[in-house]
Amino acid sequence: MTRFTVPDMTCNGCVKAITAAVQRLDPAATISADLPSHHVDITSARPASELAAAIDDAGFTAQPA
């Protein structure tokens, strides 16, 4: 599992956009988001750098947590 802090994730729409971006990269990925802590946990075979890039490309800031 890879955990990111996404400080600009503020609503369920953000969660949906991040989920869609990660699943375009890895359709088998499992994504769990916690809005109050701004954490996104991703289980994927893809490297963390690619997951972070997918989140960044969706317009959010992914920081290793």
Q: Residue 25: give its domain's CATH number.
A: 3.30.70.100
d(CA 49, CA 62): 10
**Is the entire prediction scored with pTM above 0.85?**
yes
CA–CA gap between residue 37 and residue 4 (Å, rounded): 10
16-40 tens-digit pLDDT: 999 999 999 999 999 999 999 999 9
pLDDT at residue 31, rounded to an integer: 98
How many domains does the chain contain in total? 1
What's the pLDDT band for 12 if we cut at 50, 70, 90? very high
Question: Using CB atoms within 10 A of its CB, is residue 5 exposed (0-12), middle (13-18) or buried (19+)?
Answer: middle
Range of the domain at 20: 2-64
Q: What is the pLDDT of residues 45-65, one digit of tens each?
A: 999 999 999 999 999 999 999
pLDDT value of position 10: 96
